[in-house]
Every structure is written in structure tokens, then in C-alpha cells.
Amino acid sequence: MFSKRLKQLRKTRKFSMQEVADTVGVAKSTYAGYESGYRQPTLEAIQVIAKKLRTTADYLLGLTEYPDQVEPSNNAKELLNHEQLHWDGIPLEREDLELVKRMLEHVIQTRAGKDSQSKANG
């Protein structure tokens, strides 16, 4: 899987083998071995390659299906839409997440009411 994803992403990102090899600091033939599966890069090389190809080592290694680097969201609403949330290893059911959403919406509405009152009194 690694070699297939490596080759596909390199082509998608429009890099030559030589460009990626130079970034990693290996010969083009060594890098070609990574793409053919004949050679295995070091962990450090995988990190450098992932950065060059604007992806993650997890994607290259087959641990995720998302090739693009995704920054974690700080938006609680987006987070609660995630299908596999858990609390210390205990999976949260859809009903649990709906309850948490309603509680947070109540907190925000209450805060918005207090803010508008403060502005009116200010």
C-alpha cells in the first residue's frame, strides 16, 4: 500500500522522482525503490516525504484514507458531528451527542442573552 500511495501522490502533486529524492537526501534509484516496494524508507524519510507531498505519514502507511493534511477543528459543533467520538474509551452514542449539542446550544444562547443585556446597560 505504501509504495502505491507514494507513487500516486507524487504524480498527483506533480513532483518528479528526482525532486522527492533530493528532498529526502537519497539517490533517485533509492527513491524509485520506495515506489516499487523494493526498498523501505526510514521513519525519518517517511516524515520528510509526507511533508513534501503535503500529506501525512498515516496516509502513506495506510492508517487513514485521507490524503490531505487536515488540521484538527476547534469548533465543538464540527467535533460533535464526528461519528466515532468516545469519552475515555467509552463510545458516545448518537443520542449522547444530541444531548451534548442541545446543552451547548443552551449555553451559547444564555451567553448571547447576557451579552446583549450588558450592552444595553453599558
Report pTM. Answer: 0.57
Q: Are 13 and 23 in contact (CB under 8 A)?
A: no
pLDDT tens-place string over residues 18-62: 999 999 999 999 999 999 999 999 999 999 999 999 999 999 998
Residue 76 is placed in which grid cell?
Answer: 465543538
**Residue 65 is which amino acid?**
E
Cα(122)–Cα(118) distance, rounded to whole angstroms? 6
